[in-house]
Amino acid sequence: MRHIRITPGIRHAISAVLIAVLTACGGGSDSGGSSSSAPAGGVKLQVVAFGDSLSDVGTYEPIASAVKGGRFTTNPGQVWAQDVAQYYGDTLTAAFTIDLGHELKPQSGLGYAQGGSTVATPADQNQFLTDVIGDVEMPVNQQISSYLSAHGSFNSNQLVLVWAGANDVLRAGSPPAANTTVQTAATTLAQLVAKIVQSGATHVVVVNVPNIGLSPDGIKSTDGGGNLTQLSQLFNATLNSALQSNGVQGKVIVIDSYAWTTQTIANYQANGFTVSNTGQACDPSKTPRDTSLLCSPATYVSSNADQTYMFADDLHPTTRMHALFAQYVEQQIAASGLGH
């Protein structure tokens, strides 16, 4: 056998390649990888998500993919729930997807959140992109019932994400007439969270309503978003009170998205954005129906708008905004004693 002399320079190069390969293998989010390799979050968890468009991982993708859309963000970017799932070594896919006949078909995923969903209001009572997707979205109470019908219960190896209420706030009208509607939705959500806990879930994340008044949709309204901010606050205060009275507040991880969105928008440049809540990444003149569901790189206002803008359309976060929120959620989960 011929002896090959390995010089220090070659040895260094080989080491660098090996390190790069091992790092790439260890940092992947494929849940089918080696069980000995812990995910970034430090603990392997199966993620289940309930909610609305803020957590929808692709319910309407079979139709929206025709224009390279699929999620309510700057496609092909991910929403926060997908980022969190990857952090804990899982891949979150849709539990239901729409077909060309505007019917929801069950899939194998655990992403139950659907764009347009409220806490408990039937879809046929609201007009939400009905010409594109029809009146099909399941409210959260039905999403949870669908999960329990299919799986029976939750378990200690799952991380259950719940984020709902924004559509209830948006559709409630103006205070004071809207107050009862918002309070009822928040109280109902707390009851649904209690049902999740009672059904075996031990790791439950409950996200409150963001400061909707600071969205582009809010600030362009006649009152500058004042009503939406007030109703967002009312929803959150009612939710906290109801979680406490139901005896589950200490059993769940409550994420204050209201405070997070308010602070992140106020410090947008420090968070790496160049445009705050005054613009949207998806060009309204190029994006069908001016909805992020149908937004793609071809409709961005600039090639890197998914990273430099905070909002994709007038309500939904961009890819970067979702990623930053996911990191915040992961930090709050770690602070509770789960993973790191």
Mean pLDDT in consecutive groups of 10 residues from the start of the chain, 340 residues = 38 35 33 61 98 97 95 98 98 95 93 96 71 80 98 98 97 96 98 98 98 97 97 98 97 98 98 98 96 97 98 98 98 97
Instruction: Encode 137-156: b = buried (16+ Cβ within 10 Å), e = exposed.
Output: bbbbbbbbebbeeeeeebee
Nearest alpha-carbon partner for 62 in 107, 28, 99: 99
124-175 pLDDT, tens digit per residue, is 656 667 767 767 889 999 999 999 999 999 999 999 999 999 999 999 999 9
pTM for this model (two decimals): 0.88
> In the Cβ-directed half-sphere of 87, how many Cα atoms lie within 13 Å?
23
What's the CATH superfamily of 45-335?
A: SGNH hydrolase (3.40.50.1110)
Q: Do 182 and 171 touch, CB atoms closer than 8 A?
A: no
Q: Do 315 and 235 touch, CB atoms closer than 8 A?
A: no
CA distance 273 to 24: 28
**Helix H segments across 277-318?**
305-308
Residues ≥6 apart with Cβ < 8 Å to 229: 211, 212, 213, 214, 218
Phi-psi region of 212 (alpha: psi -120 to 50; beta: other; left: phi over 0): alpha
For position 322, what pLDDT does the model report? 98
Domain ranges of the chain: 45-335
